[in-house]
Structure 1
Amino acid sequence: MGFPLFSYFLCFLLFFPNFSMQSSRRASVIRLPNGDSYGHPFDPTRVTQISWHPRAFLYRNFLTDAECDHLIQLAKDKLEKSMVADNESGQSIESEVRTSSGMFLNKAQDEVVAGVESRISAWTFLPVENGESMQILHYENGQKYEPHWDYFHDKANQALGGHRIATVLMYLSNVQKGGETVFPESEIKESQPKANEDWSECAKRGYAVKPRKGDALLFFSLHPNATTDVLSLHGSCPVIEGEKWSATKWIHVRNFDKSGSTSDDECKDENVNCPVWAAAGECKKNPVYMVGSGEGVGYCRKSCKVC
């Protein structure tokens, strides 16, 4: 006998009690617990799956024009040359691989930033506290970011919240030409028509997404089993005409706000649902999150009886 649909709904309310469904003539949308900046709702009907390998999704009009302009205004007089993480030390270093300028906002810096962060959490089903501070980036003519992975190669960065599991890239401006986000190893790169001159040569080397003000691109750097996805290789093509503004939110597998890892001799659960998950067998099914690995301790060590 199948599990009743109503029971699924009750489970949803149990784990997400603050979400409510609000109907309209066009579609149902999820409105965030305390409203959202500019009253902008999370609307899953505007999300399109563009690739399964890597997993990537495009959300049209994720941000309002007012939100885009506000984020740019917060950043425009605080920009510095963008850095990259050194593969050995994990330190931030300058590199010609990345020639943009940027800056980090504070988490929940104001009502708009907090609203965008909560909307990202609703879309990705990943906790707000797992995200890094939002980075605002500015690309001028010829500036780019060569193809790279968002997951880490060094242990130092992996110790801070674990690998980056997902990236939400929000476009804050239109670009006359160039500036596309390209996935050179996407399995569907050959199926995307690029015969016209609207695409840059860089964009023709993989599956590409054009920057459009307000749109957001979500892609995953890890597979569902938490192993790294080499197909998530991506880059920002050089801007040919105009300028490009974007906002990036990197999200980790664990809480990024925690100052340091839980010590091995501290036995506790980090989530109120740990006993329920442990009873359901998640300690064995999902040991990296529940128990931990060489990269860090898990979130449900007490319920999994490993300490």
Structure 2
Amino acid sequence: MKGRAKSPKTKFGIPIVSFLCCLFFLAGFYISTLFSQDVPNLRSGSRILESVEEADRYDVMSQPHGETGDSYIQSIPFQVLSWKPRALYFPGFATAAQCQSIIKMAKSNLKPSTLALRKGETDESTKGTRTSSGTFISASEDNTGILEAVEQKISKVTMIPRTHGEAFNVLRYEVGQKYDSHYDAFNPAEYGPQKSQRVASFLLYLTSVEEGGETMFPFENGVKLGMGFDYKKCAGLKVKPQQGDGLLFYSVFPNGTIDQLSLHGSCPVIKGEKWVATKWIRDQEEEED
């Protein structure tokens, strides 16, 4: 009899509990929907990127600047390719039209590229080391203002004034042409006393190359350093030329010593044609010719 007296509670208890659970679920869902209306939609990576760009555009105010400063904030995207040597890659640094204009300026004045000879070297002993053709063009010779604009942008990313840069060395590499591994900095023990030192190099790729023509750093991260490396070999970290992209690397440490890992070269072009505008940057102002 006692068991039967409890049966009504068992019969109606489960439906009541289920109904209450459904009621609480619906209420919670409704409340969460109300609160979610004030939360920005961050479901896609592109939306996150857009919100960052909006913050840069509207929330970041430019600061009062000095006579030589800029009145606006500028963002120049880059990728660190290596810390040993210090090498940075700048996609879309110049437009296709700018690149084509620089090629047009240089095309009629190309001559076989030469080398700065070390003690004991001769033109004959170094024959075949550098087989490109090129010419030097300063921004003051360019009536279009394109080289000046590129120079200004280079000075921003290097934080070194334009006055420290040499004239652009515009180079053309045809099929089979290359530049064996070398240093842009001049070791006084090998080249004699120097008035100033090349501390950094900026390469602006004026064309894309179908195959070959990479800029290489064979000693990247200290690999093969001091092992009797074949300087004609195309090895190590390689940067493929893409029109309008830039490559910055430093040949000298902040303490003034040459970075042995900054050894670099240009791999032979296998298919296509390579055009590049090189800007060498020194630790002192360059004297105008």
TM-score higher than 0.5 here?
A: yes
SS at match of 1:85: coil
Structure 1 residues 233 and 217: alpha-carbon distance in aligned structure 2, compared to 1, 3 A threshold: same
Query: Do the aligned residues in 1 keep the contact of 2:222 with 2:261 (CA within 8 Å)?
Result: no
Q: Please, which of 109, 115, 118 is the counterpart of residue 152 of structure 2?
A: 118
Pairing of 1:73-222 with structure 2 (within 5 A): 73-88=104-119, 95-110=127-142, 111-154=145-188, 159-160=194-195, 162-187=196-221, 203=234, 205-222=235-252
Cα root mean square deviation, aligned: 2.7
Pairing of 1:28-107 with structure 2 (within 5 A): 29=74, 43-44=75-76, 46-88=77-119, 95-107=127-139
Cα offsets for 1:55-75 (capped at 9, x unmatched): 010000101101100000001
Number of aligned residues: 217
Query: Do the aligned residues in 1 keep the contact of 2:129 with 2:180 (CA within 8 Å)?
Result: yes
Q: In the alignment, what sits opposite 1:256?
A: 286
Report the residue type matching 1:98 in the other structure: R
> RCO higher in 1 or 2 (8 Å CA, sep ≥ 6)?
2
Q: In the alignment, what sits opposite 1:239?
A: 269
Report the residue type matching 2:261 in the other structure: L
Give the Cα–Cα distance (whole angstroms) in 2 for the partners of residues 171 and 118 of structure 1.
17
* Rg larger in structure: 2
SS at match of 2:140: coil
Give the Cα–Cα distance (whole angstroms) in 1 for the partners of residues 281 and 149 of structure 2.
16
Deviates more, 1:87-96 or 1:245-254: 87-96
2:71 maps to 1:20: yes
Deviation at 1:119, TM superposition (A): 1.1
Give the Cα–Cα distance (whole angstroms) in 1 for the partners of residues 193 and 245 of structure 2.
29
Cα offsets for 1:116-167 (capped at 9, x unmatched): 111111111111111100010000000000000000134777533x110000
Cα offsets for 1:232-266 (capped at 9, x unmatched): 0000000000110000000000011268xxxxxxx
Give the Cα–Cα distance (whole angstroms) in 2 for the partners of residues 132 and 158 of structure 1.
18
Cα offsets for 1:86-138 (capped at 9, x unmatched): 11289989731100000000233221111111111111111111110001000
Query: Do the aligned residues in 1 keep the contact of 2:212 with 2:268 (CA within 8 Å)?
Result: yes
Give the Cα–Cα distance (whole angstroms) in 1 for the partners of residues 269 and 169 of structure 2.
19
Give the Cα–Cα distance (whole angstroms) in 1 for the partners of residues 104 and 223 of structure 2.
35
Report the residue type matching 1:254 in the other structure: Q
Give the Cα–Cα distance (whole angstroms) in 2 for the partners of residues 258 and 65 of structure 1.
29
In structure 1, the gaps of 5 or more residues are: 1-8, 23-28, 30-42, 191-200, 260-307
Deviation at 1:183, TM superposition (A): 0.1
Query: Do the aligned residues in 2 keep the contact of 1:222 with 1:228 (CA within 8 Å)?
Result: yes
TM-score normalised by L of structure 2: 0.69
Identity %: 40
Q: In the alignment, what sits opposite 1:289?
A: none
Give the Cα–Cα distance (whole angstroms) in 2 for the partners of residues 92 and 63 of structure 1.
35
In structure 2, the gaps of 5 or more residues are: 1-61, 225-231
Give the Cα–Cα distance (whole angstroms) in 2 for the partners of residues 217 and 189 of structure 1.
21
Structure 1 residues 114 and 171: alpha-carbon distance in aligned structure 2, compared to 1, 3 A threshold: same
Query: Do the aligned residues in 2 keep the contact of 1:51 with 1:188 (CA within 8 Å)?
Result: no
The structure with the greater share of residues assigned to helix is 2
